[in-house]
Amino acid sequence: MKSDAKWLKVLKRYRIFLVLVVINLFVLLAFPTIGTRSLSLTWANTLEMLSIIPPVFILLGLLDVWVKRETMIKLMGEGSGLRGVLLAFLLGSAAAGPLYAAFPVAVVLLKKGTRFSNVLIFIGAWSTTKIPMLMFEASALGWKFMLTRFAIDLVGIALIAWITGKVLSKEEIQKIRAQAEAAET
Angle at CA of residue 101, ends 97 and 105, nearest 5°: 120
Are residue 102 and residue 171 in the same domain, yes or no? yes
Let me know if residue 59 belongs to a domain. no
Are residue 28 and residue 73 in the same domain, yes or no? no
pLDDT, position 5: 78
Task: Yes or no: say if 107 and 185 are a contact pair by the CB < 8 Å rule.
Answer: yes
Let me know if residue 60 belongs to a domain. no
The total of structural domains in the chain comes to: 2
Alpha carbon distance 165, 84 (integer Å): 15
Length, in residues, of the chain: 185
Are residue 164 and residue 80 in the same domain, yes or no? yes
Let me know if residue 136 belongs to a domain. yes
Q: Which of 126, 56, 118, 55 is nearest to 94 (CA)?
A: 126
Structural domain including 24 reads 1-51
Rounded to two decimals, the pTM is 0.78
Are residue 104 and residue 168 in the same domain, yes or no? yes
Per-residue CA distances from 61 to 5, 54, 57, 64, 118 (Å): 30, 11, 6, 5, 20
Are residue 71 and residue 162 in the same domain, yes or no? yes
Are residue 176 and residue 120 in the same domain, yes or no? yes
Would you write out the chain's pLDDT as a tens digit for each of its 185 residues?
Answer: 566 778 888 888 888 888 988 998 999 999 999 999 988 998 898 888 888 888 888 888 888 788 888 888 898 999 889 999 999 999 999 887 888 889 999 999 999 999 999 999 999 999 999 988 899 999 999 999 999 999 999 999 999 999 998 999 999 999 999 998 888 65
Task: Yes or no: say if 125 and 76 are a contact pair by the CB < 8 Å rule.
Answer: no
